[in-house]
Amino acid sequence: MKNQFEIPFVGLKIGIHDFEFKIDKSFFESMPYSIINNGDLKIWMELERKETMLIADFEFFGTIKMDCARCNEEIDVEVEGDLTIYYKFGNEEAEDENLIVIPYESYQIDVTQPIYEMITMAIPLRPVHEEGECDEEMVKLIEKFQNQQKEDNKKEDDIDPRWSALKNLN
């Protein structure tokens, strides 16, 4: 089965070529250890073929499903973004994360990993439900645990006054 994210460039003429991808649950299931459960995204790639390199400009938008950072229940997160990757022919190691060196004998590029990384980089630092939409039972458990920790810390402070003196040292 041909992978839609493997782009054969050998037959492409010098110039610009457009590609469109639809990303869904199967894409994220194929990624090991993905933090994204599901998604409905559209990706556009403009691939410019030059004599010695390829330039891939990606743009995307859509919705992903992942776990809420507060209650751990599934949440819809809207994401969008863009990325440019340069594919250079050669045998040396690339030092730039946006530059991928491909061997001269290559005939295709696989854009799976750049697409996944582009999507994950668009995720907010702490994706959470809107206020009041989190799983109430889980929120109560978290609050109970946090209050218990505060009480335990207070008891520790009461037990040994030397810790208080050490806290003030800088």
Domain assignment present for 84 = yes
Residues 48 and 116 in one domain: yes
Look-up of token digits 């996944």: 116
Q: How far is CA 94 from CA 53, 69, 98, 153, in A?
A: 13, 35, 9, 49
Residues 25 and 93 in one domain: yes
Residues 82 and 143 in one domain: no
Which residue did the predictor score with more confidence, 91 or 110?
110
Structure confidence at residue 96 as a pLDDT band (50, 70, 90): confident
147: phi then psi, degrees, rounded to nearest 5:
-65, -40
Residues 51 and 23 in one domain: yes
Residues 89 and 141 in one domain: no
What is the C-alpha separation between 69 and 135, in angstroms, rounded?
12
pLDDT averaged over every residue in the chain: 89
134: phi then psi, degrees, rounded to nearest 5:
-70, 160
Residues 49 and 14 in one domain: yes
CA angle 45, 49, 51 (to 5 degrees): 160
Residues 116 and 140 in one domain: no
Pairing of β 6-8 and β 15-23 = unpaired
Residues 38 and 105 in one domain: yes
Residues 155 and 100 in one domain: no
pLDDT at 163 over 60: yes
pLDDT at 162 over 80: no
Domain assignment present for 1 = no
Residues 25 and 102 in one domain: yes
Domain assignment present for 126 = no
Residues 31 and 104 in one domain: yes
Domain assignment present for 92 = yes
**Percent with pLDDT over 90 in the chain:** 60
Q: Name the residue range of residue 152's domain.
A: 136-167
Closest CA to 55 of 20, 25, 83, 77: 83
Domain assignment present for 128 = no
Q: For the chain, what is the domain count? A: 2
Looking at residue 138, its pLDDT comes to: 85
Residues 66 and 144 in one domain: no
The pTM score is 0.79
Domain assignment present for 96 = yes
